[in-house]
Chains A and B, each alone.
Chain A
């Protein structure tokens, strides 16, 4: 006991006697960084000078068309194509990933076949095909098989290129996303499923409530990547043909004005802007699904204290650990157990 007190006094005095002398070492020099910075600055200056002084960039034309009604509408259509085809792809991908993990061999095999087919043929080919579906099937009808038709949707109407475009993009993307989702589901520890099963939960509920939310942490970053990829893949919808998206509109304007470069800049600027916005959205989605794993600042501060309290609890022979040493916490947990026990 006396030894303990002596040591405690010693330590308090040591801290009181002034903070320890902090190390102030001379940092390692990095001349390479300065050289690299200089070279890159020179190259950047050259690029900016060229952009500013070369009249063929046509900045006046860029300014004239950047907010052009057709261009802005094109951005709108491109966004709509991206969002709808990604939505379709995500829904299909979840279904495909679940099917792939199913006990039912028919479902597993169908899922594999879908991925094999849509990943194995070029998106451009698929888009042309979806455009031509109108030749195979001029209309889609909803009805009882071999029975009466309830609703009919005319596909061969040329203004309806939008639906085949979304279908083409979405179905193709679903194959890629299905693989991403499958990897995500696999990344969740098997113990999570076992724990849920032991609690009496069942297949679909375990998937939706336990596995998928944790898989999302792995799924979101590559899916964000795919979404940004999709934004630009929409420029292929002229294969359907669908002719209102950003790339088609700016190309058309370029052909009309004989000024391809400024209009390419217009398109690139819009794509960059939308991509940036998507990246911000992705950041927040990642943050949401990272809960419980990422950014747990408190973890470091909680554990040592808890461990200490627990050790103290055991040493003191208290019934259960930490309770009584934490302010505001419960007193001992022991008695409660006996009261509420059967």
Chain B
């Protein structure tokens, strides 16, 4: 596996995405390693995500794709390498050739700009859909409650759930909960959205609604990193498709090209199973 890491063809993923040419890098990941104890989960990841790009990560479970995503907003600390979002080093400050851990306050500040959607939704169970969306703008940004409420209703409308504003998460279907979770993340006006297998916990017939919201979000120009098993979504919406296995990037490029004509045997065998 580590052999394939060294021979990874760096397909210059973004060259394919014509509309993104000239766009600035929003996320830069360089030489990132992650150990969980003895377990070497990420084995040297290099990746960039341009402003407005939809970058889709696929791979078998245990390939490290979710871990990588969680490193981007510092929910996991990295063991080696660097991650920059908007040219700001995530989680650390480099001073005098040394890395200094950022204070929780500064980490929280960095996270404000990065929205995250989880596989298990993680809506606040004791708050209604509306309260879930209002929580961070009011509590973190100190936004006025009235303004936050109007904005939250707008966002719920945007994900097709304004009539569910007063419902508690337990009263919503999985697909509805996930759409509220997207609205909640958008309420902080992030420049980057991370999606960690957003449809994996959903009934098949509810997947479409969530993907549609994500597609609209992509069309609106949001920069997105999406860990998913939905190859169709990658083909239709993705600007870049990255296949990870064993903690390395095996192959990366234009989704349609990678899906139709993967260069690596490992990618082909994975795609043949999920397509």
Chain A residues with CB under 8 Å of chain B are: 189, 191-192, 194-203, 205, 209-210, 213-214, 289, 291-293, 296, 298-299, 302-303, 306-307, 310-311, 313-314, 319-323, 326, 328-330, 332-334, 336-338, 340-342
For A291, what are the chain B residues with a Cβ–Cβ distance below 8 Å? 126, 168
**CB-contact partner of B125 in A202, A293, A322, under 8 A:** A293
B26 at the interface (CB under 8 A from A): no
Q: A192-B122, A214-B125, A333-B213 are in contact. Are A298 and B167 (CB under 8 A)?
A: yes
Q: Is the CB of B118 within 8 A of A191?
A: yes
For A332, what are the chain B residues with a Cβ–Cβ distance below 8 Å? 160
Q: A310-B175, A320-B213 are in contact. Are A199 and B185 (CB under 8 A)?
A: yes
Query: Can you show 28 pairs from A to B with CB atoms below 8 A apart?
Result: A194-B75, A195-B184, A197-B75, A199-B140, A200-B136, A200-B188, A201-B136, A202-B105, A202-B108, A205-B139, A214-B124, A214-B125, A291-B126, A292-B126, A307-B203, A310-B175, A311-B205, A320-B209, A321-B209, A322-B176, A323-B163, A326-B163, A333-B158, A334-B212, A336-B158, A337-B158, A340-B158, A341-B219
Least Cβ–Cβ distance between B142 and chain A, in angstroms: 12
Question: Whose C-beta in chain A lies nearest to the C-beta of B127?
Answer: A292
For B75, what are the chain A residues with a Cβ–Cβ distance below 8 Å? 194, 197-198
| Interface 9-mer from B12-20, B30-38, B53-61, B109-117 | B109-117
**CB-contact partner of A310 in B111, B154, B209, under 8 A:** B209
Q: Is the CB of A189 within 8 A of B122?
A: yes
For B77, what are the chain A residues with a Cβ–Cβ distance below 8 Å? none
Q: State how many residues of chain B have any CB contact under 8 Å with chain A.
A: 59
Q: Is the CB of A296 within 8 A of B154?
A: no
1/0 contact string of B72-103 vs chain A (CB within 8 Å): 01010000000000000000000000000000
Q: Which 5 A-B pairs have the closest CB atoms?
A: A341-B220, A321-B209, A195-B122, A337-B216, A333-B160
Least Cβ–Cβ distance between A257 and chain B, in angstroms: 53
B123 at the interface (CB under 8 A from A): yes
**CB-contact partner of B160 in A201, A322, A328, under 8 A:** A322
* Complex CA–CA separation, A340 to B123 (angstroms): 24
* Complex CA–CA separation, A302 to B176 (angstroms): 11
For B220, what are the chain A residues with a Cβ–Cβ distance below 8 Å? 337-338, 340-342
Q: Is the CB of B208 within 8 A of A314?
A: yes
**CB-contact partner of A195 in B109, B123, B159, under 8 A:** B123
Q: Is the CB of B185 within 8 A of A302?
A: no
Question: Whose C-beta in chain A lies nearest to the C-beta of B112?
Answer: A200
